[in-house]
Structures are given as structure tokens and as C-alpha cells.
């Protein structure tokens, strides 16, 4: 094992001495203008490589600084572009929503013109029972707007349901697809009557409800036939479109037919409805 010399000079002092010597040699060389001599030769071997190294390191640092600045500029530009994309996306979504609402209002206007003899009030859907379908839901108009129990509700292309409860500024509606709903209907082309029953299970399976007890001649009612509210219904006004026959088959008694109906209204995306202020019982009176 080697022992350290008692008189060894620390490395940092050695470097300081060499640096001082270099500075001294440079000073003497420039002061005495010694060119071509041994000092110049020493300077060529010592300082030129050192200067090249310093220049290389300096150039690398400048290059990295430029790259960093460029990266910051790109990141800032990307941030600004992302903000612009977000703004345009928001504007596009707003335009789509306004267009969707405009289409709904246009449908309500067309529906209003389809049944011009009835007085109506427009209302917005403000709540539902939380299921996949608007089988029972709340609207933002109530008794102070003239809405009463048993008033018919329409939207889209036809019948939505009937008012079952009211408050001063809201009303509750049961739609024709609800399990508790049944409507006296009839074939539009033959006037043959049937019962249209709500069924959430068949709505979930195939977006259809059911009809039964249809008495008609063989082949008189086919797939695609329109079913409307019947004149013998005690609560529903006559002639409002319920939907279209999607399947039909003869019952076991060979006297009646049953099948399924595709509703005329989109019960998954209800937003606005029309409440008919004329009640069936009052019109009959």
C-alpha cells in the first residue's frame, strides 16, 4: 500500500499555477510582441486547441439555445392553435344545437298546421323518469298556462301521450309507450279499430309497441299501415297519428289480428311538445 507524499500539492493549486503561468506567458507574448519564437509555438500548441474547444462548446450552447427558443415558439403556437380549435369546436356545437332546435320547432309548426282546429300551447321537456325512454316526463307548462289533466300531447309526427297530473308551472305526461298506457286506435285506410298498448320491453328490443283486437278483412291491413286515434276513445282526440304497423298476424281465434307498431314519435330524444288545450270530453259536450 502506497503512502501519500507529505509534500504533495493539491490538484486545485496545481491548476491555478498552470492557469497563472498561461496568463503570464500570454501577457509577455503580447507585451513584447514575440512572434515566431518559442512562446508563440507554445501558444499554438496550448491555446489554439483550447480556443477551438471553447468555440465548439459555445457554438453547441448557442445551437441548443436556438433550438430551445424554437421549441418554445412552437409550443406557444400550438397552444394558440389548440385554443382556436376549441373555440371553433364550441361554435360548431352551438350551431348544431341551434339547428337541431330549429328543426324541432319546424316540426312543431308543421304539426300545428296538421291539426289546425285544435288550440295548442308549446312546452319544453324538463325531466323524465331516468330510463332509456320518455315514457313519463315533465314539461315546463302547467295549470297557469291552461293545461289540465287528460289533455293530449303531440310532437314530431303524431301522438306522444296524455297529461296525467299538473302543477301551477309544470305538468306530468304519460306517453303511449308506457306499460300503463292503452289507446283506442284504428286503421287509417279501413277504419278498423284496435287497442294500442305501451310496452317498454318491446321498445327496448325493437323500438315498437303492440296492438291487439284488430278486426278486419283478410289482407285489408298490411305492414306500413298508419294507425290513428279512434273516434270512440274517451280521452284521445280523433285522427292523431299513433304509428305504423310493423308486424301483423292472425290471432288463435281466427277473428282478430295483433302485432307491433313503430311509433310516429321519437321517444328517445323528446325536447319540445305541443299540448292540445281542447279536451275530448269538452268537445263532445
120 compared with 282, residue with greater pLDDT: 120
What whole-number distance in Å separates Cα of residue 53 and Cα of residue 73?
30
**109/119 Cα distance (integer angstroms):** 13
Higher pLDDT, 71 or 10: 71
Rounded distance between C-alpha atoms, residue 125 and residue 119, angstroms: 19
The contacts of residue 134 (CB under 8 Å, 6+ apart) are: 125, 128, 175, 267, 268, 270
pLDDT confidence of 74, banded at 50, 70, 90?
confident
β-pair partners for 12: none
Q: For the chain, give the mean pLDDT.
A: 82
d(CA 194, CA 186): 6
Q: Please give the Cα distance from 100 to 103 (Å, whole number).
A: 5
Q: Which three cell numbers stand for residue 59?
A: 457554438
Residue 6: pLDDT over 70: no
Q: What is the pLDDT of residues 94-119, one digit of tens each?
A: 666 556 566 666 766 776 777 788 88
- What is the per-residue pLDDT across 19-64, written as a single tens digit (0 to 9) for each? 666 666 666 655 655 445 555 555 555 556 655 666 676 677 767 7
Which sign, positive or negative, has the C-alpha torsion 22, 24, 27, 28? negative
The vertex-115 CA angle with 111 and 118, nearest 5°, equals 120
CA distance 22 to 32: 15
Amino acid at each position: 500500500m502506497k503512502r501519500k507524499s507529505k509534500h504533495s500539492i493539491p490538484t486545485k493549486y496545481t491548476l491555478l499555477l498552470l492557469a497563472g503561468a498561461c496568463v503570464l506567458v500570454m501577457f509577455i507574448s503580447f507585451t513584447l510582441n514575440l512572434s515566431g519564437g518559442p512562446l508563440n509555438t507554445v501558444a499554438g500548441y496550448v491555446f489554439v486547441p483550447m480556443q477551438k474547444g471553447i468555440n465548439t462548446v459555445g457554438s453547441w450552447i448557442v445551437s441548443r439555445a436556438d433550438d430551445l427558443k424554437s421549441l418554445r415558439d412552437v409550443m406557444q403556437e400550438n397552444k394558440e392553435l389548440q385554443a382556436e380549435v376549441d373555440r371553433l369546436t364550441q361554435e360548431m356545437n352551438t350551431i348544431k344545437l341551434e339547428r337541431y332546435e330549429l328543426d324541432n320547432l319546424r316540426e312543431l309548426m308543421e304539426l300545428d298546421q296538421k291539426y289546425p282546429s285544435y288550440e295548442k300551447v308549446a312546452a319544453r321537456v324538463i325531466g323524465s323518469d331516468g330510463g332509456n325512454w320518455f315514457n313519463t316526463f315533465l314539461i315546463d307548462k302547467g295549470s297557469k298556462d291552461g293545461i289540465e289533466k287528460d289533455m293530449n300531447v303531440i310532437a314530431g309526427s303524431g301522438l306522444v301521450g296524455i297529461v296525467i297530473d299538473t302543477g301551477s308551472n309544470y305538468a306530468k305526461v304519460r306517453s303511449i309507450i308506457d306499460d300503463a298506457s292503452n289507446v283506442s286506435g284504428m286503421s287509417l285506410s279501413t277504419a278498423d279499430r284496435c287497442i294500442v298498448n305501451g310496452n317498454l320491453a318491446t321498445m327496448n328490443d325493437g323500438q315498437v309497441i303492440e296492438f291487439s283486437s284488430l278486426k278486419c278483412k283478410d289482407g285489408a291491413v298490411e305492414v306500413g299501415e298508419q294507425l290513428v286515434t279512434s273516434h270512440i276513445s274517451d280521452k284521445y282526440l280523433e285522427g292523431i297519428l299513433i304509428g305504423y304497423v310493423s308486424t301483423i298476424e292472425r290471432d288463435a281465434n281466427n277473428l282478430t289480428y295483433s302485432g307491433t307498431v313503430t311509433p310516429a314519435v321519437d321517444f328517445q330524444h323528446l325536447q319540445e311538445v305541443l299540448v292540445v288545450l281542447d279536451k275530448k270530453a269538452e268537445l263532445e259536450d
